[in-house]
Structure 1
Amino acid sequence: MEVLAAVVGGVLVAGLVAVGARLRRRRDAALAEAYSAPEPEEDNDRSTLLGQVLSGSVDLLAGTVSGALRTLVQVAGAREDDGVVTLLFCDIEGSTRLNVELGDDRWAEVLRVHEHVSSEVVAQHRGRIVKTAGDGFMAVFRDPAAAVRAAVGLQEALAANPRIGVPLPARIGVHCGEVVGRGGDFYGTEVVRAARIADRAKGTETLVSEAVVDHAGDIDGVAFQPAGRVRLKGLPGRQPLRRVVLQPGRSRPTGPRRS
């Protein structure tokens, strides 16, 4: 009996090992297919960071789990009842093409400087980068107007910066809303909404939600131009968006307001 039990046990273990190997092969094949997919050029389902493998990366940054739109953002020093934040998503349009043109070593250096420059701009406007993925990041602000000014600063810094050496056409989305606080973390659909807004932007364009316009108020040097009502992937209905445009002849929003 002991010999039979040993034989049966060995067969079961071998079967489990084989099943695990098959699952790993399927997982690896799916990941390889996702990350080798060509970057789309059309506007319908834009990709780079905020589309394709979120179909990939939006899920990584915004934390969508099993299609349930549950999100997690970590904010230093956040309180349990501090549930309203402004979220900024930024990524680079055509990043795969730039990577190929510059080569891996040069592109890695560009990304390093890009991350440093972006962190400086966000911090200047009292925000904090809380997640990064490749050439994109998510930042959190307490003040919607500060987030808009940071978006303007990011567009300028990434479009023409001698430290980076190449223009980086940023696609930025900004949204504010209430999220659920749990132990210093936040959950809710609003992070996903912000990511989807960024996914609708073109290179060098910043799109914001109506909530941002309502809460930010008047910002020197900035106007909010209607950008139509659009469908945001995974969210019901059509959402009105605004485009951030600089107004000539007015002071530029280069820094945070002084209280």
Structure 2
Amino acid sequence: MSKITPSPELAAVVRRWNLAVQNQDQAVLMNMLSKSEHLRYQGSADGECWSGTVFRDGFADHVREIPEFDWDEHSLEAFECGEVGWAHCSATLTFASNGNSTPHRFTFVLNLEDGIWKMVQLHVSNPMSNLEKIGVEHEALNALVEAARIGFQQDQSDGIASVMFTDIADSSELTRKLGDHEWADIISRHLELAEGIIVSHRGRLVKSLGDGTMSIFTSVQDSVDAAVNLQRRNASIDTAKILRLRIGIHTGEVIQKDEDFFGTVVNKAARVTDVSGPNEIHVSDVTRLMLDTDPNGWFGPPKPVLLKGFGGRQTVYSLNWT
């Protein structure tokens, strides 16, 4: 039986959806919708209850009718269990048409179709307070949530970040061929180069892992630029034929404890690196989605892969750095 786990990956997918709605990007929205006849949508207005082909065919026109608005996200959490995921989001929307700022709540159900998360159910609502609805305000759960939040913040922190792993292909064989002393010298110079490039792209080297590195970036673009620069710089030096790098990047919510980082995002970034061959870079679909555009034409088509420890097929993208 699959385990329910928090999913920064789905949170990023939902943010991409919300941005596409705000920008009225109909092509992205249509691509993110499930093709299943069980697709369902429940809006905030009376009668906004659509399904299947009717919803798919009409949703683009529905989005065009939405006045321009600013989006202020308050919370977003997402979970997955096997090939099914769900998310809850709250935000305030301020519409240019009348200047009104209105709180909204959104829930999403997603299904993994051919390795890509697709929206299969969406629900939008405008919250009404319990005091207004039933004359009673509930406070007990709010107090518990606040207490839990304070306890969590005392010894660790979290946030959205891009995690990048680097690894040298066939390092064990190279060590045997070159000998420990020569190999140690080569690796020392390589790690110095890697750290310099990571820092120059506003990243942080978390730790070296023998012949590889783990680093973290607050900007997705910085992580991708660092990966490309590292491959290019490595290819230009005299040890290029020896040091063939494999790089993987995944983006999501990480947890920091002392000087290290933990969570499923870190684990998945390592697994994305595992599917990279010598002189290759791969990124997760979340990392690719959060970049929105690809002005340099770096990314290849989506590739479904199996990542150890992650159920079902996952989607990654190769990054052509040459």
- TM-score, normalized by length of structure 1? 0.60
State which of 254, 274, 287 in structure 2 corresponds to 1:179. 254
Query: Are residue 87 (structure 1) and residue 163 (structure 2) matched?
Result: yes
Q: Secondary structure at the match of 2:183?
A: helix
Verify the 8 A CA contact 2:175 2:183 in the aligned structure 1.
yes
In the alignment, which residue of structure 1 is the partner of 2:300? Answer: 225
Q: How does 1:95-174 map to 2 (within 5 A)?
A: 95-162=171-238, 164=239, 166-174=241-249
Distance 1:231 1:122, change over 3 A: same
Verify the 8 A CA contact 1:232 1:238 in the aligned structure 2.
yes
Verify the 8 A CA contact 1:176 1:190 in the aligned structure 2.
yes
Distance 1:246 1:134, change over 3 A: closer
For 1:173 and 1:154, locate their aligned partners in 2 and report how far apart those are by CA, in whole Å: 12
In the alignment, which residue of structure 1 is the partner of 2:288? Answer: 213
| Shift of residue 230, structure 1, vs aligned partner | 0.9
In the alignment, which residue of structure 1 is the partner of 2:40? Answer: none
Verify the 8 A CA contact 2:283 2:319 in the aligned structure 1.
yes
In the alignment, which residue of structure 2 is the partner of 1:244? Answer: 319
Q: Which runs of 5+ in 2 are unaligned?
A: 1-154
Distance 1:93 1:201, change over 3 A: same
Distance 1:114 1:184, change over 3 A: closer
Deviation digits for residues 66-119 of structure 1 (CA, Å, limit 9, x no counterpart): xxxxxxxxxxxxx96651010000000011122122221110100000010001
| Shift of residue 179, structure 1, vs aligned partner | 2.4
* Higher RCO by CA contacts (8 Å cutoff, separation 6 or greater): 1
Q: Secondary structure at the match of 2:243?
A: coil
Query: Are residue 198 (structure 1) and residue 273 (structure 2) matched?
Result: yes
Structure with the higher helix share, 1 or 2: 1
Q: Secondary structure at the match of 1:245?
A: coil
Distance 1:241 1:165, change over 3 A: closer
Q: How many residues align?
A: 168
Identity %: 36
Q: Secondary structure at the match of 1:202?
A: coil
> Looking at CA atoms only, which structure, 1 or 2, has the larger radius of gyration?
2
| Shift of residue 156, structure 1, vs aligned partner | 1.3
For 1:196 and 1:171, locate their aligned partners in 2 and report how far apart those are by CA, in whole Å: 11
Verify the 8 A CA contact 1:227 1:242 in the aligned structure 2.
yes
Verify the 8 A CA contact 1:160 1:166 in the aligned structure 2.
no
For 1:215 and 1:226, locate their aligned partners in 2 and report how far apart those are by CA, in whole Å: 16
Distance 1:81 1:109, change over 3 A: closer
Structure with the higher strand share, 1 or 2: 2
Q: Secondary structure at the match of 1:175?
A: strand
Q: Which runs of 5+ in 1 are unaligned?
A: 1-78, 248-259
For 1:173 and 1:229, locate their aligned partners in 2 and report how far apart those are by CA, in whole Å: 15
- TM-score, normalized by length of structure 2? 0.48
The CA RMSD over aligned residues, in Å, is: 2.2
